[in-house]
Each structure stands twice: as C-alpha cells, then as structure tokens.
Amino acid sequence: MNAALKLVDLTVSYDRHPAVHHVSAEIPSGEMTAIVGPNGAGKSSLLKAMLGLAPRIEGKIECTAKRIAYLPQQAEVDRSFPISVLDTVLLGRWSRFGAFGKARKVDIHDAQHAIESVGLGGFERRPIDTLSVGQFQRVLFARLLLQDADLVLLDEPFAAIDAKTVVDLMDVIRRWQAEKRTVVAVLHDIDQVRRDFPNALLLARELVDAGPTSRVLSAENLLRARAMAEAWDDHAGACDVPLKLSA
C-alpha cells in the first residue's frame, strides 16, 4: 500500500524539549487513520509537524499529497470576527482568489452546496459568533469541502460536540475516504476509533505502534502507552540524540 505520509525519525521540540520523540511511521494513502494516545502524548504536535507548523522539527516528512486541508481545534479559532457562515466557508477557496480577489459564481455555488451537505442549509448569512459549537464545527467541515484536498488533517474534530453532529460529520469523512482521500484525525474516543477508523497510530511522545487498528489498540499496547506517558519526565534535559535520516 502506498503511503501518503512517511515520518522518518521525526522529533518535534519546544525549547529543545521533545513533544514527539524520534517517530518513524507511514500513513496509508486513501485511508482513514486515527492518531490516539494519552493526554499530553504529542498527538496535536505530530499533526502540526505534518503541516510544518511546529516550532522545531527534526527528521524527515515525506508527503505525496498535492493539496492539504487542516482543521484546527476550535479553541484555536477566533470567532469574534464579524463574518458570516458563507464567507467563512468561502475561505476554503482563499488560495484561488486571495485577499483582494473576488469569489466567482462557481465558488459561491460550491460554498452553498457544501453548507447544505453538512446540514446547515439556510444558515448562509448567520454570523459565526451566533452558532453553537456543533454548528460551527459543521461550518469548518464545509470549508474543508471547498479545499478539495488529497490529504485532510483533523485535530480533535469531535471534541465537545453533540452526538448527531458527530454522526453527520463522520458521514462526510466516509465520503472523503470513498473518494480515496487520505484522512488523519486526532481522536480520544477509543471505541469510535475501533468502530470507524481502520488504521491507527498510537503515540506516547514516542511511537507505540502504527498499522491496523485491531492490532494497534490492543490491551497490551494501550497499557504500554499509559505507562510510557506516566513515566515521561517533562523536566528532563534537552534531546541530544543524533538523527539518523534515510537517504
């Protein structure tokens, strides 16, 4: 199976202290992969490293995707700016018309279709600061739809949202997978991962296992991940292990 992402001896550091430590793994192309692990395991840091957003990245990331879409955690999104649902979704086409360009009729049509497809038809003119957490997450998924990406990275997409919204947004993710897009999601609900995601990467600052979910999320691996997380010393010295990069 081809890899959409290949991580080679990847370390992500903040002030030279590793949040993710020498991880090597492959993310299969056209599949759904969940990144799981205990709190503080470095899951979001790993996702940001895939985008080049982490402050210090060592090792190598090989990516075959031509277009990447990213959904941050809602806490990282400023909803105080006075902008409508439609205009927020149209930001998914930002790379096409830029800061001073104008959305074309086809862009507006596609945005309206995306809004309807996430269950928010009729909300186009609503300001985003009037939406519930679940409604706003639907808006962010609609924006992702407009990006038409080969690789979709989701950071805790179901945090603090209602069960109906989770079901509806999972339908969107399954459509992406049916279209052979690669989806990588940071998730906390182990039962959901076992039910919905065929592949998993289990992290505890270091890699525990990556591959088929049925193997990765074994009781033995989950216990090992917990033990590794509890043993991690946040006050240890900086990481000075030399990198060994493949050619």
Mean pLDDT value across residues 72-77: 90
**Binning pLDDT at 50, 70 and 90, where does residue 4 land?**
very high
What pLDDT score was predicted for residue 247?
30
Does the pLDDT at position 246 exceed 50? no
In sequence order, the 6+-apart residues with CB closer than 8 A to the CB of 180 are: 29, 30
Residues whose CB is less than 8 angstroms from the CB of residue 113 and which lie 6 or more positions away in sequence, other chains included: none
Residue corresponding to tokens 């959901």: 192
Report whether 170 contacts 90 (CB < 8 A). no
Q: Which residues pair with 201 in a beta bridge?
A: 35, 210
pLDDT value at residue 242:
42
133-147 and 163-178 helices, crossing angle to 10°: 10
> Closest by alpha carbon to 88, among 126, 47, 45, 61?
126
Closest CA to 27 of 35, 19, 38: 35
**88-140 per-position pLDDT tens digit:** 999 998 766 655 567 888 999 999 999 999 999 999 999 999 999 999 999 99
Q: Examine the pLDDT at 39 and tell me if it is beyond 80.
A: yes
Q: What is the largest CA-CA distance in the chain?
A: 56
Calpha distance 190→207 (Å, rounded):
17
Lookup: tokens for 208: 């525990």
Confidence at residue 57, expressed as pLDDT on a 0 to 100 scale: 86
Average pLDDT over residues 228-235: 71
Query: Which token pair is 196?
Result: 């919905």
pLDDT at 244: 37
1-67+152-162+185-237 CATH: 3.40.50.300
The pLDDT of residue 245 is: 33
d(CA 74, CA 156): 9
And the tokens for 197? 């995601």
Q: For residue range 144-187, what is the model confidence (pLDDT) as tens digits?
A: 999 999 999 999 999 999 999 999 999 999 999 999 999 999 99
DSSP 8-state secondary structure symbol assigned to residue 93: G
pTM: 0.89
Selected residue with higher pLDDT from 57 and 188: 188
